[in-house]
């Protein structure tokens, strides 16, 4: 719960105690519930209304007439049963905002403040494979260039920028799309639009160094560019510029500067079709996502040269670029590194290889590679591809499985609710344990292969988190 939400609940609790104790000599203290009118006003103005708080709003208003009655009839005896009932109701009312909090992101552990901004790029050299027509899957013939929203996190100058960036760049529109993905009522996750991150919107790039190493993140199927904000912010605080392209039609929703949007199209990966039909569809998806990553690499070159004006002109180490991704995005990162030598290191979280070229599992990639798996994620057609990929990899490739995790533990979903493990959206591993664990391995791997060849951060992570089956080939 946020600050004024806690204050509202606390005022209600104290009001119930006052009602029970009935302090005759201090009769005006019975007006204490009126303070909630002020607390609610501050809460609405500073924090924002959310539907989970409605029961507490109603309870607060319900207490006021009882408070006024105690002033006019101070001789009435307290009712123990009513007080106990009120405490039970208060507990039930408070449980909703507790179990569905506005996500609070952990502070990044690095030396640098974090900034963020978003680019809208159009790849004029590549036509869109998919159709915006609701009854069509593919654009036939392809006629529109592929357009992308790309968010970037970076080391920033402290106290620069506009304000703390929201978690959902497009607010309620994003929240409605995420709710639809999980087959929840549209309003159910609208409170996510109230969440603020640790990143300063449009902050100035830090000038501690002339150039910074770069990472590119690829999200998963029905994911979004900001799905792993905890990882993006922590890597930026450690001195990396992190780009995250959003894969339109595969993301939950992509919203563009003109207000138009493209929602996820589940027909792209058709259920109930033959394996051959599914495989052909998956390969189209894979080619599109790899194209997004290659185009992002091209745009990074243009940012560095100044062809695209930005705060990053001249400050990008284009010889120090790493890729990482989750699920379908993890496979996209591996496939991109297999065909583009600008990639210097690659890390994949639960990589899904089904949509990618079959040469990938048989030939592997030459760059330093770390594969991180959740313990409970099983994808039957993916397993033989992963095993073949591992066997094809050169000496030095590493892999690990994080104990007590599930597929979505690599995203921000564990922050959505303390019930996430109970309802099977994450593994039983505590959130306060898994976030630093994943972040330490990410930082350690990329620090070793992009920044300092003598870095011991990865070996420290292996020592600090035993029992996760870390294996080097």
Residue 275: Cβ-neighbour burial (10 angstroms; 0-12, 13-18, 19+): exposed
Q: Summarize the confidence of residues 294-306 as an average pLDDT.
A: 98
Q: Summarize the confidence of residues 238-245 as an average pLDDT.
A: 98
- Looking from the CA of 353 toward its CB, the CA atoms found within 13 Å total 23
Residue 77 has pLDDT above 70, yes or no: no
Tell me the pLDDT tens digit for each residue of 162-189: 899 999 999 999 999 999 999 999 999 9
Q: Check residue 82 and give its pLDDT.
A: 78
Residue 340: Cβ-neighbour burial (10 angstroms; 0-12, 13-18, 19+): middle
Separation CA 396–CA 39 (nearest Å): 58
Tell me the pLDDT tens digit for each residue of 443-471: 999 999 999 999 999 999 999 999 899 99
Q: Check residue 24 and give its pLDDT.
A: 54
Take residue 268 and report the two structure tokens written for it: 């792209």
* φ and ψ at residue 363, rounded to 5 degrees: -110, -25
Residue 473 has pLDDT above 80, yes or no: yes
| pLDDT range class, residue 9, cuts 50, 70, 90 | very high
Separation CA 344–CA 336 (nearest Å): 11
| pLDDT range class, residue 80, cuts 50, 70, 90 | confident
Whether the link from the prior residue into 316 is cis, omega within 30° of 0, is: no
Q: Summarize the confidence of residues 90-118 as an average pLDDT.
A: 97
Alpha carbon distances (Å) from 76 to 23, 32, 73, 99 = 11, 18, 6, 37
Q: Summarize the confidence of residues 326-339 as an average pLDDT.
A: 98
Kindly report which listed range (50-54, 84-88, 221-225) carries the lowest average pLDDT score. Answer: 84-88
Q: What angle do CA 402, 404, 408 make, to 5 degrees?
A: 80
Separation CA 399–CA 370 (nearest Å): 5
Q: What angle do CA 336, 444, 376 make, to 5 degrees?
A: 70
Kindly report which listed range (76-85, 245-254, 411-420) carries the lowest average pLDDT score. Answer: 76-85
Q: Summarize the confidence of residues 339-352 as an average pLDDT.
A: 98
Separation CA 285–CA 251 (nearest Å): 12
Kindly report which listed range (76-90, 235-249, 273-287, 422-436) carries the lowest average pLDDT score. Answer: 76-90
Contact (Cβ atoms closer than 8 angstroms) between residue 194 and residue 168: no
Separation CA 466–CA 402 (nearest Å): 10
Q: Summarize the confidence of residues 67-84 as an average pLDDT.
A: 70
Residue 72 has pLDDT above 80, yes or no: no
Over its C-alpha atoms, the chain yields an Rg (Å, rounded) of 26
Separation CA 231–CA 458 (nearest Å): 16
Residue 378 has pLDDT above 90, yes or no: no
Mean pLDDT of the chain: 93
Q: What angle do CA 206, 209, 211 make, to 5 degrees?
A: 95
Tell me the pLDDT tens digit for each residue of 28-55: 677 888 999 999 999 999 999 999 999 9
Separation CA 239–CA 234 (nearest Å): 9
Separation CA 116–CA 258 (nearest Å): 20
Contact (Cβ atoms closer than 8 angstroms) between residue 52 and residue 188: no
Residue 271 has pLDDT above 90, yes or no: no
Alpha carbon distances (Å) from 276 to 57, 331, 373, 445 = 55, 19, 27, 37
| pLDDT range class, residue 229, cuts 50, 70, 90 | very high
* Of the candidates 425, 418, 438, 419, the residue with the CA atom closest to the CA atom of residue 229: 438
Separation CA 69–CA 61 (nearest Å): 14
* φ and ψ at residue 423, rounded to 5 degrees: -95, 15
Separation CA 56–CA 34 (nearest Å): 14
| pLDDT range class, residue 333, cuts 50, 70, 90 | very high
Q: Check residue 457 and give its pLDDT.
A: 98
| Distance, CA of 370 to chain centre | 21
Separation CA 342–CA 450 (nearest Å): 12
Place of tokens 């563009």: 256
Q: What angle do CA 166, 423, 436 make, to 5 degrees?
A: 50
| Distance, CA of 343 to chain centre | 24
Alpha carbon distances (Å) from 42 to 3, 46, 48, 57, 347 = 10, 6, 9, 13, 45
Residue 20 has pLDDT above 80, yes or no: no
| pLDDT range class, residue 203, cuts 50, 70, 90 | very high
DSSP per residue over 2-29, as a string? -HHHHHHHHHHHHHHHHHHH--GGGGGG
| pLDDT range class, residue 220, cuts 50, 70, 90 | very high
| pLDDT range class, residue 75, cuts 50, 70, 90 | low
Separation CA 221–CA 285 (nearest Å): 10
| pLDDT range class, residue 74, cuts 50, 70, 90 | low
Contact (Cβ atoms closer than 8 angstroms) between residue 342 and residue 213: no
The rounded percent of the chain whose pLDDT value lies above 70 is 96
pTM exceeds 0.85: yes
Q: Summarize the confidence of residues 109-122 as an average pLDDT.
A: 98
């Amino acid at each position: 719960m946020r600050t004024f939400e806690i204050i509202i609940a606390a005022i209600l609790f104290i009001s119930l105690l006052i009602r029970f104790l009935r302090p005759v000599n201090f009769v005006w203290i019975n007006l204490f519930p009126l303070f909630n009118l002020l607390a609610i006003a501050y809460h609405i103005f500073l924090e924002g209304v959310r539907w989970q708080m409605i029961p507490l709003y109603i309870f607060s208003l319900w207490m006021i007439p009882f408070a006024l009655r105690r002033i006019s009839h101070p001789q009435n005896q307290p009712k123990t049963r009513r007080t106990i009932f009120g405490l039970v109701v208060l507990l039930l009312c408070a449980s909703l905002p507790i179990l569905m909090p506005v996500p609070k992101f952990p502070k990044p552990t690095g030396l640098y403040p974090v900034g963020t901004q978003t680019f809208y790029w159009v790849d004029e050299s590549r036509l869109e494979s998919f159709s915006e027509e609701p009854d069509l899957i593919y654009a036939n013939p392809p006629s529109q260039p592929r357009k992308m929203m790309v968010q970037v996190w970076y080391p920033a100058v402290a106290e620069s920028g506009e304000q703390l960036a929201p978690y959902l760049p497009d607010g309620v529109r994003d929240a409605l799309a995420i709710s639809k993905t999980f087959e929840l009522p549209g309003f159910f996750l609208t409170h996510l639009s109230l969440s603020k991150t640790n990143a300063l919107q449009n902050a100035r790039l830090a000038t501690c160094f002339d150039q910074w190493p770069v990472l590119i993140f690829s999200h998963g199927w029905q994911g979004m560019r900001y799905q792993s904000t905890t990882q993006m912010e922590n890597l930026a605080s450690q001195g990396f510029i992190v780009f995250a392209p959003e894969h339109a039609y595969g993301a939950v929703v992509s919203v563009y500067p003109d207000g138009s949007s493209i929602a996820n199209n589940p027909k792209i990966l058709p259920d109930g079709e033959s394996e051959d039909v599914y495989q052909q569809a998956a390969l189209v998806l894979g080619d599109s996502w790899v194209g997004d990553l290659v185009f992002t690499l091209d745009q990074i070159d243009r940012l560095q040269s100044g062809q695209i004006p930005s705060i990053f002109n001249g400050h990008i180490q284009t010889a120090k670029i790493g890729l990482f991704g989750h699920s379908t995005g993890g496979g996209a990162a591996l496939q991109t590194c297999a065909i583009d030598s600008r990639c210097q290191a690659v890390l994949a979280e639960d990589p899904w290889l089904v949509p990618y070229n079959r040469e990938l599992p048989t030939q592997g990639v030459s760059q330093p590679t770390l594969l991180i798996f959740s313990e409970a994620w099983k994808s039957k057609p993916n397993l033989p591809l992963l095993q073949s990929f591992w066997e094809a990899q050169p000496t030095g490739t590493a892999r690990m499985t994080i104990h007590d995790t599930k597929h979505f533990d690599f995203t921000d979903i564990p922050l959505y609710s303390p019930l996430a493990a109970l309802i099977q959206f994450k593994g039983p591993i505590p959130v306060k344990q898994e976030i630093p664990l994943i972040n330490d391995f990410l930082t350690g791997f990329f620090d070793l292969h992009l920044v300092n060849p003598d870095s011991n951060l990865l070996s420290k992570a292996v020592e600090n988190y035993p029992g996760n089956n870390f294996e080097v080939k």
